[in-house]
Amino acid sequence: MSEVPPARATAQRNRDEVRVYGLNACLALFARRPHDLRKVYLLESRIPQLKAVLAWCVQKKLGYRVVANADLEKLAASQHHEGVCFEARKIPFLALTALVQRLPRAPQPALLVWLDGVGNPHNIGAVLRSAANFGAAGALLSADAAPALSGAAYRVAEGGAEAVPMARIAAGEDALGALHHAGFALAATVPREGEALFGARLQPRVVFALGAEGEGLRRGLIDRADMHLTIPGSGAVESLNVAASAAVLFGEYWRQQRTPRPQRQPHR
């Protein structure tokens, strides 16, 4: 057993690093970018599931420590660490132009999500998990969003943060113009008076724009959107939260893209 670094050392660790915790989040990180791993902390009970990680640490001369549960809670700043915590390099945000260049060219289908003002790490993580599940090609964050993904966002994403590229929209950037130029339609989600999602025909290249809890989407985005979508429901609550809304939107896009559309019959 090794001692946990003091709080001062924790505060001074490299600004380019983040503590990622949660078993699936850590395993996904190791599977996709093991070269970004810097240090591993784990409970003794997790050694069987992390043998490949520990072998990598030995090979690359990276530090790993078997710690007690209370120590791991301090390291992760969470009780939901699931027995493992990595120190690793942060995933850098892309510029919007760089993300667009990675995408299949029009008219090939592609799904993006624009999180306008969304900063809650649990919501961001949940959106990334759903985005990964339904094959989204990227996520966009507004310029005033959090500077980087937190450990909580990684854990809630369950590996989705590794699968979905993220871009930050620069202040003053005409993001919508760039997206339109790349063949995307912007679908703004609104709690009422939009087109009902399950009757709408979604474009193959679409950006779903979702706003933060309470504030919703900025008026400017709503006004410039190509379509306005509302998720229908019983009316017992005003709306779904942003993460639940994203999952419903992604699922409907997935259904439409994989359901053969009826072919027009030639006139006789």
Q: What does the alpha-carbon distance between residue 100 and residue 9 come to, in Å, rounded to a whole number? A: 39
Q: What is the mean pLDDT of the chain?
A: 91
Q: What is the mean pLDDT of residues 195-222?
A: 93
Per-domain residue ranges for the chain? 7-89, 94-258
pTM comes to 0.89
Q: What is the pLDDT of residues 148-202, one digit of tens each?
A: 789 999 999 999 999 999 999 998 899 999 999 999 999 999 988 899 999 999 9
CATH homologous superfamily of 94-258 equals SPOUT methyltransferase, trefoil knot domain (3.40.1280.10)
pLDDT grade, residue 1 (50/70/90)?
very low
pLDDT grade, residue 260 (50/70/90)?
low
**What percent of the chain has pLDDT above 70?**
90
- Note whether 7-89 and 94-258 share their fold: no
Q: What is the mean pLDDT of residues 52-68?
A: 97
pLDDT at residue 261, as a whole number: 56
pLDDT at residue 237, as a whole number: 85
pLDDT at residue 213, as a whole number: 77
pLDDT grade, residue 264 (50/70/90)?
low
Which one has a higher pLDDT value, 239 or 253?
253
Which one has a higher pLDDT value, 118 or 216?
118
In SS3 terms, 132-191 reads as HHCCCCEEEECCCCCCCCCHHHHHHHCCHHHHCCEEECCCCCCHHHHHHHCCCEEEEECC
Which one has a higher pLDDT value, 112 or 263?
112
pLDDT at residue 6, as a whole number: 54
For β-strands 84-89 and 17-21, DSSP reports them as: antiparallel
Q: What does the alpha-carbon distance between residue 167 and residue 58 come to, in Å, rounded to a whole number? A: 34
Q: What is the CATH architecture assignment of 7-89?
A: 2-Layer Sandwich (3.30)
